[in-house]
């Protein structure tokens, strides 16, 4: 899932204080699970902002709301009218949600981010999140025992550990496992260590963020949707 | 000859090679490079010019290598994968070759977080590159030299002729994988290898045996890394804090003994430790040269370039061979 | 002894809040969230025993303090109460 | 104790908005502790009296005073 962390309160306050009517808008999917931007966090943040506004003597109306997801248009619809009555939307969704809502509002109302979107991660234990995938668009986990060297190695090395591995830990921090140490140990257990002996050539990074914004289009689904829409228009006309 | 560099000629002649290290300054003043080059000249076949080691901004490796070369010291320019993507790397390689540089050592480079240690602020917030890693950089350089092609496939009118090096940490974790790590660098095209500093010769011998079993000593020239110890404190630090380096207790004891012999005299304390350090370095050099498959030594007298002369002389490696260019 | 009292007073001066004068007409306004089965029963007992305690405390009874949500506490402060305690 | 953990968390939020976390507390007591309840209430009210009015209360008052004078 997408993991984020709420921005420092003072930073949020600086974003918000010049406005009159603000909606703190939560998203109840990924960022709710990491306690950063669900309806609950949006509600608390709104209350804190109101208290700050009161102390600063600012006449600021701050409400909160939340919807299931900020990355699909259907979920926005029930609140569209309400949203239009504010002069700032402070979104506590991930960066995808902020972008998507800003596009939807098309410059009519600004959308500001309430959280820092951090990484794709897992939750090995409650309240603890780790990055496990870089979303590079060209997966090689079959070659590395299911451990991603692109994000779990601090140098994204593709051909084995650097000289900085110390007692199985990364040179960047003694609290970070060396990904290549883990990969070698995993491959030994799997009995496939020899897969690591081949030199991996330079990667094509154009599938990562280096080839411009990425898109995936499922033509069979889009064709079906278009057909359904056409049918609906036809029957509509028939009436 | 692949590059015709002095280092390559010495290695090809079958004589034991000696390389040294020269760290460029955090300054726009070339005089420190010139001064250090003067101290090293004549006591090594080539000297590595580090590339912003510990991720601290210094005179660039290429520029410092060019200055050293002008002073008559053959440089091994280093190139880290940290700061350049493949476009900048290849552009720099063409530029370096055009300036007459002939040796290049490929390394991953210290992570940018390293820069913020001790008194220095460094640039821990920098964006690192790591477009390619060491093996891949070696491969790119080989392809440029041998096929006259850029990594992307475009032709080079004149190919850069480099003697290609790579580093090896024989005693780093995971230790049983390290010989294969070396094999990958050799497979990629490394002509010579310089190892991380070695104090534990017995352990190094066993890693070398594994490398020999893979036939690597015949396909590349392995130079054993020797870091000249300056004090007992430095040895203890290297043992506890430097990745892939273990220092046998007896070496630390020897340094402590030398320190104790000076009593309370601080100056003498330093002198005696430095003398002992040079003695230890000479012994390590001699032991390393006896290991089958070793083709030379990479002696690093970090910020202590004047130590090169006594070490090379005492180890019987002086004078350095003078070989005519082809 | 005076020193100790002075020090104690200094500790009680908030480091988070801006210094301010206390208006003469202010009286503390404290909200207590009490668990029905323990603290609220204790409060009840205090009443039965005719024990006198500060009239500034208003009690909200909860089935269990586990029901107490973050937002309930923040809302209370937002409304201007001077202190909140939960008892369970 | 879920409540105790929540209280600790809300204390951090209060601090961020400039309210002294000492204005919030968690107490544990049993049904039989009538006298302790009375004592606890007095203690806490004393603490609050020492801290003075909450910044929010002060801000509200200032605002309403301003409202009155403007009118």
Residue C5 lies in a domain: no
Judging contacts by C-beta atoms under 8 Å, the chain C residues touching residue A48 are 74
Quickly count: other Cβ atoms within 10 Å of residue D66's Cβ.
11
H or E stretch at A206: none
The domains of chain A, with CATH numbers, are: 2-119 (3.40.50.2300), 135-239 (no CATH)
What pLDDT is attached to residue C16? 84
Residue B320 lies in a domain: no
Judging contacts by C-beta atoms under 8 Å, the chain A residues touching residue C71 are 40, 43-44, 47
* Interface contact A160-B181, CB threshold 8 A: yes
Judging contacts by C-beta atoms under 8 Å, the chain C residues touching residue A44 are 70-71, 74
B238 token code pair = 């290297």
A92 token code pair = 């506590």
**Which residues are A117's β-sheet partners?**
A4
For residues B72 and B304, give the distance between their C-alpha atoms in angstroms, rounded to a whole number: 20
For B6-28, the pLDDT digits (tens) are 999 999 999 999 999 999 999 99
For residues B319 and B302, give the distance between their C-alpha atoms in angstroms, rounded to a whole number: 22
For residue D62, what is the nearest residue in chain C, using CA coordinates?
C23
Residue B326 lies in a domain: no
Distance (Å) from the alpha carbon of A60 to chain D's nearest alpha carbon:
13
Q: Which chains touch B (3 or more CB pairs under 8 A)?
A: A
Q: Is A232 exposed, middle or buried (0-12, 13-18, 19+ CB in 10 A)?
A: exposed
Average pLDDT, integer, range B46-54: 96
Tell me the pLDDT of chain B averaged across its residues.
Answer: 96
* Interface contact B110-A164, CB threshold 8 A: yes
Average pLDDT, integer, range B311-323: 97
In Å, how far are B5, B213, C15 from B293, measured between CA atoms?
A: 21, 11, 69
Residue window 30-59, chain D: list those with CB within 8 Å of chain C. Answer: 30-42, 44-45, 47-58
Average pLDDT, integer, range C8-18: 64
* Interface contact D17-A51, CB threshold 8 A: yes
Judging contacts by C-beta atoms under 8 Å, the chain B residues touching residue A204 are none
For B186-234, the pLDDT digits (tens) are 999 999 999 999 999 999 999 999 999 999 999 999 999 999 999 999 9
Judging contacts by C-beta atoms under 8 Å, the chain A residues touching residue C72 are none
Contact of A7 with A116, CB cutoff 8 Å? yes
Provide the 3-class DSSP secondary structure of residue B301. coil
* Interface contact D27-C45, CB threshold 8 A: no
What pLDDT is attached to residue D69? 63
User: Which 8-state DSSP code applies to residue A201?
Assistant: P
Could you give the angle at the alpha carbon of B191 between the alpha carbons of B187 and B194, nearest 5°? 100
- On whether any CB of chain A is under 8 Å from the CB of D63, the answer is yes
Q: Is B292 exposed, middle or buried (0-12, 13-18, 19+ CB in 10 A)?
A: exposed
A38 token code pair = 């669900």
Residue B46 lies in a domain: yes
Contact of B319 with B42, CB cutoff 8 Å? yes
For residues A127 and A32, give the distance between their C-alpha atoms in angstroms, rounded to a whole number: 12
Residue C61 lies in a domain: yes
Task: Calculate the CA A4 to chain-centre distance.
Answer: 7
Judging contacts by C-beta atoms under 8 Å, the chain D residues touching residue A57 are 59, 62-63
For residues B61 and A127, give the distance between their C-alpha atoms in angstroms, rounded to a whole number: 45
For B152-171, the pLDDT digits (tens) are 999 999 999 999 999 999 99
For residues A55 and A43, give the distance between their C-alpha atoms in angstroms, rounded to a whole number: 19
Beta strands A115-125 and A128-133 are antiparallel
Quickly list H helices, A18-136: 30-33, 39-55, 73-76, 80-83, 95-105
* Interface contact A171-B244, CB threshold 8 A: no
- On whether any CB of chain A is under 8 Å from the CB of D55, the answer is yes
- On whether any CB of chain C is under 8 Å from the CB of D16, the answer is no
- On whether any CB of chain A is under 8 Å from the CB of D56, the answer is yes
Judging contacts by C-beta atoms under 8 Å, the chain D residues touching residue A9 are 16-17
Chains A & B: contacts with CB separation below 8 Å = 106
What pLDDT is attached to residue A239? 45
Domain that holds residue C64: 27-87
CB nearest to A48's CB, from D17, D55, D60:
D17
Residue B323 lies in a domain: no
Contact of B196 with B182, CB cutoff 8 Å? no
Domain that holds residue B23: 6-314
B232 token code pair = 């007992």
Best mutation site among C6, C20, C21, C28 for testing chain D: the one with the most D CBs within 10 Å? C28
If one counts the domains in chain C, the total is 1
* Interface contact C78-D56, CB threshold 8 A: yes
What pLDDT is attached to residue C6? 54
What ranges do the domains of chain D cover? 2-70
If one counts the domains in chain B, the total is 1
Domain CATH code at residue C77? 3.40.50
Q: Which chains touch A (3 or more CB pairs under 8 A)?
A: B, C, D
How many Cα atoms sit within 13 Å of B128 on the Cβ side?
A: 25
Per-block mean pLDDT, blocks of 10 residues, chain A (239 long): 97 98 98 96 98 96 98 96 97 98 97 98 94 96 97 97 94 95 98 96 93 89 89 72
* Interface contact D29-C48, CB threshold 8 A: no
Taking 90 as the threshold, does the pLDDT of residue C38 lie above it? Answer: no
Residue B324 lies in a domain: no
- B91 Ramachandran zone, left/alpha/beta (phi>0; psi -120 to 50): alpha
Average pLDDT, integer, range B284-301: 98
- For residue B185, give the nearest of B155, B131, B222 by alpha carbon: B222
Provide the 3-class DSSP secondary structure of residue B144. helix
């Amino acid at each position: 899932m997408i993991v984020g962390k709420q921005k420092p309160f003072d930073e949020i306050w600086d974003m918000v204080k010049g406005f009159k009517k603000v909606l703190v808008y939560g998203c109840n999917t990924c960022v709710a699970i990491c306690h950063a931007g669900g309806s609950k966090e949006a509600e608390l943040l709104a209350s804190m902002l109101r208290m700050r506004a009161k102390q600063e003597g600012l006449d600021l109306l701050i409400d909160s709301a939340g919807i299931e997801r900020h990355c699909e248009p259907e979920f926005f619809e029930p609140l569209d009218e309400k949203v239009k009555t504010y002069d700032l939307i402070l979104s506590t969704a991930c960066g995808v949600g902020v972008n998507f809502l800003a596009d939807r509002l098309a410059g009519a109302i600004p959308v500001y981010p309430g959280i820092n979107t951090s990484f794709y991660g897992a939750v090995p234990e409650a309240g603890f999140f780790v990055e496990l995938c870089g979303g590079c668009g060209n997966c090689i986990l079959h070659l590395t025992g299911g451990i991603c060297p692109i994000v779990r190695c601090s140098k994204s090395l593709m051909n084995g550990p650097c000289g900085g591995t110390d007692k199985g830990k990364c040179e960047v921090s003694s609290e970070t496992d060396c990904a290549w140490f883990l990969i070698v140990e995993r491959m030994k257990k799997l009995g496939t260590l020899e897969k690591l002996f081949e030199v991996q050539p330079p990667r094509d990074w154009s599938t990562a963020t280096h080839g411009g914004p990425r898109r995936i289009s499922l033509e069979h689904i889009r064709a079906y949707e278009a057909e359904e829409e056409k049918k609906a228009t036809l029957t509509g006309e028939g009436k | 000859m692949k590059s015709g560099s002095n280092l390559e000629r010495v290695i090809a002649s079958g004589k034991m090679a000696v390389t040294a290290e020269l760290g460029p300054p955090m300054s726009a003043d070339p005089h420190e490079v010139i001064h250090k080059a003067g101290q090293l000249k004549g006591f090594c076949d080539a000297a590595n010019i580090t590339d912003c080691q510990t991720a601290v901004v210094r005179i660039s490796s290429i520029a410092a290598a060019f200055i050293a070369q002008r002073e008559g010291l053959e440089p091994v320019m280093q190139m880290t994968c940290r700061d350049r993507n493949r476009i900048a790397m290849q552009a720099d390689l063409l530029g370096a070759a055009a300036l007459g540089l002939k040796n290049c050592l490929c390394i991953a480079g210290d992570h940018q977080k390293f820069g913020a240690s001790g008194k220095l602020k460094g640039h821990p917030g920098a964006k690192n590159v790591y477009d390619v890693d060491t093996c891949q950089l070696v491969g790119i350089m080989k392809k440029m030299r041998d096929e006259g092609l850029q990594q992307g496939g475009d032709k080079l009118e004149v190919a850069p002729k480099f003697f290609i090096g790579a580093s090896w940490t024989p005693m780093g974790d995971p230790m049983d994988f390290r010989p294969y790590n070396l094999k990958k660098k050799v497979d990629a095209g490394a002509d010579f290898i310089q190892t991380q500093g070695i104090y534990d010769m017995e352990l190094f011998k066993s890693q070398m045996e594994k490398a020999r079993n893979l036939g690597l000593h015949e396909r590349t020239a392995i130079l054993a890394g020797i870091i000249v110890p300056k004090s007992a404190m430095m040895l203890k630090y290297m043992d506890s804090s430097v990745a892939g380096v273990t220092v046998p207790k007896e070496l630390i004891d020897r340094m402590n003994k030398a320190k104790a012999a000076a009593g309370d005299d601080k100056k003498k304390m330093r002198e005696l430790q430095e003398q002992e350090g040079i003695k230890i370095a000479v012994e390590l050099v001699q032991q390393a040269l006896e290991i089958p498959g070793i083709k030379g030594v990479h002696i690093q007298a970090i910020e202590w370039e004047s130590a090169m002369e006594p070490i090379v002389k005492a180890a019987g490696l002086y004078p350095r061979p003078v070989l005519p260019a082809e | 002894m005076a020193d100790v009292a002075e020090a104690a007073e200094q500790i009680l001066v908030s480091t988070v809040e801006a210094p301010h004068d206390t208006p003469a007409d202010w009286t503390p306004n404290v909200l207590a969230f009490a668990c029905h089965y323990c603290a609220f029963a204790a409060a009840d007992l205090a009443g039965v025993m005719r024990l006198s305690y500060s009239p500034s405390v208003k009690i909200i009874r909860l089935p269990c303090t586990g029901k107490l949500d973050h937002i309930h506490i923040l809302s209370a402060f937002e409304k201007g109460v001077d202190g909140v305690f939960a008892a369970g | 104790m879920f409540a105790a953990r929540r209280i600790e968390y809300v204390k951090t939020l209060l601090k961020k908005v400039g309210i002294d976390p000492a204005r919030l507390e968690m107490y544990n007591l049993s049904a039989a502790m009538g006298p302790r309840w009375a004592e606890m209430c007095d203690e806490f009210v004393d603490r609050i009296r020492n801290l003075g009015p909450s910044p929010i209360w002060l801000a509200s008052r200032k605002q309403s005073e301003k409202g009155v004078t403007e009118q």
